[in-house]
Structure 1
């Protein structure tokens, strides 16, 4: 199944390359790609609906990585076609307002799905058996998955949402380029600042965050202790937008320090100081 799906993806990517549009895409180009992808996607649906994956790992790989990389392109070109067809006729200011509203939708999706976005971008795996295996339906997850074609034989709880994340990243580039051509750099910067306010950056030393990560894993308080150091470091790297590098080497250096838990002591002191200051107010 993986080979078949990857061959389909190669055909789609080859067709996209033939367009040579470099994000300067027309409604006709988008419609052409929708028509090209639709029968392939339908074929994939039929094959997967009748297919039993040999292992959970194979099924997770398909629904977490392979299918979303096909579906995202269908969603992207469908949305571009819709945007271009609905684009108002008028001066640049009218078109800018319209495109900025589309950007705002991307911001809203990012904000509403921040937890899952962080899970996916941190390469976490602890929920994969729930998110990316068929027929493990949870009503709350189902209500939150936004799936337009809820098919229990061809979808899981969150494969559509990954495709939507990937689609939105392409749409952001497309919309930004359209706005830049209209001379909308100031409004574009404002939109990027809106997205940035939902992003937290760790501005201390990398060693501090690594010490905190090892502490959280060692406590057993994350996912009842079912989390690996690598998963935690990937998660912290993603949510705080920092490359932690060789965290194991940092851990070894931490063990050799005179004060092995210097950052944790600093956190305690900072919190106690804050409490004392609050008491004095």
Structure 2
């Protein structure tokens, strides 16, 4: 395959990947599921271009630079982006706005750290500079006078240059930053909606009291005919009440270790309900 044909085929493959991901976005309404399927499509595309390139000798350095500076990084960036999205969405707690925000803030910190560590190259790339392209984007030509990735020797040198992975990371981080900002905006909107909603309820008793109530309901087989898992029941309450119960097993152990009136919240409920019923009779 001639180098110009390799460039053309890679460009066509990129457009094909974009179309497939667009269709997946319509078919898969769940963001996590979409990212997983899109990652698989991207992985297949990366494997394809790798099979083309590892045995290819570019006929001129211009074509090689084009491939490693402009084409390959777009594929790798998508792979990195979807991997990051999957990691975040699968790690989000079931409830608790502040816990979700903390996770997003941590990801923003990672992006900031990368930007600080690679300021010089990011500036070079964003300015569309070319004077160091022959050092950055040609295979088998690592220049020890420029900053290199710490894990450079882990790369397949037939399919990598010293800096194409950095370009991919920049592109991935740009898209991932937009994703995080969108998630954060939605989180703020949901929070405002919950606060202003007249039907919004917030648990204002102690977490131990809620844990005691959940265990009582669970062990009375109140959910799904007694077929619901305890963890499923706890997560449901956490999600609906926007609360993090933490290590609820430890909380129950502490409740069990009370010297007197172990189930004091359940007793309080009973006392208050009885008082209400007595008041109705009088």
Tell whether the 8 Å contact from 1:48 to 1:153 is kept in structure 2 after alignment: yes
Match of 1:110 among 112, 115, 120: 115
Report the CA distance between 1:89 and its aligned residue.
2.9
Separation in 1 of the partners of 2:56 and 2:147?
A: 22
Report the CA distance between 1:4 and its aligned residue.
1.4
Match of 1:151 among 140, 147, 156: 156
1:41-71, Cα deviation, whole Å (9 max, x unpaired):
1121111000011100110011000111111
In structure 2, the partner of 1:243 is: none
Calculate the aligned-residue CA RMSD, in Å: 2.2
Tell whether the 8 Å contact from 2:136 to 2:161 is kept in structure 1 after alignment: yes
In the superposition, the TM-score normalised over structure 2's length comes to 0.61
In structure 2, the partner of 1:124 is: 129
In structure 2, the partner of 1:6 is: 11
Separation in 1 of the partners of 2:20 and 2:68?
A: 23
Separation in 2 of the partners of 1:148 and 1:25?
A: 38
In structure 2, the partner of 1:64 is: 69
Match of 1:16 among 21, 27, 45: 21
Match of 1:48 among 29, 53, 59: 53
Please list, as runs of the form range in 1=range in 2, the aligned pairs for 1:218-257 lying within 5 A after superposition: none
Unaligned runs of 5+ in 1: 185-281
Separation in 1 of the partners of 2:86 and 2:162?
A: 27
Match of 2:141 among 118, 136, 139: 136
Separation in 2 of the partners of 1:106 and 1:116?
A: 15
Report the CA distance between 1:19 and its aligned residue.
3.4
Unaligned runs of 5+ in 2: 1-5, 190-282
Separation in 2 of the partners of 1:154 and 1:79?
A: 22
In structure 2, the partner of 1:78 is: 83
In the superposition, the TM-score normalised over structure 1's length comes to 0.61
Report the CA distance between 1:140 and its aligned residue.
6.5
Separation in 1 of the partners of 2:152 and 2:188?
A: 36
Is 1:98 equivalent to 2:103 in the alignment? Answer: yes
Separation in 1 of the partners of 2:153 and 2:96?
A: 35
Separation in 2 of the partners of 1:89 and 1:182?
A: 13
Moved over 3 A (4+): 138-143, 145-149
How has the CA–CA distance of structure 1 residues 116 and 50 changed in structure 2, closer, same or farther, with 3 Å as cutoff? same
In structure 1, the partner of 2:40 is: 35
Tell whether the 8 Å contact from 1:145 to 1:158 is kept in structure 2 after alignment: no
1:87-128, Cα deviation, whole Å (9 max, x unpaired):
223311110111111111111111111100000111111111
In structure 2, the partner of 1:162 is: 167
How has the CA–CA distance of structure 1 residues 143 and 126 changed in structure 2, closer, same or farther, with 3 Å as cutoff? closer
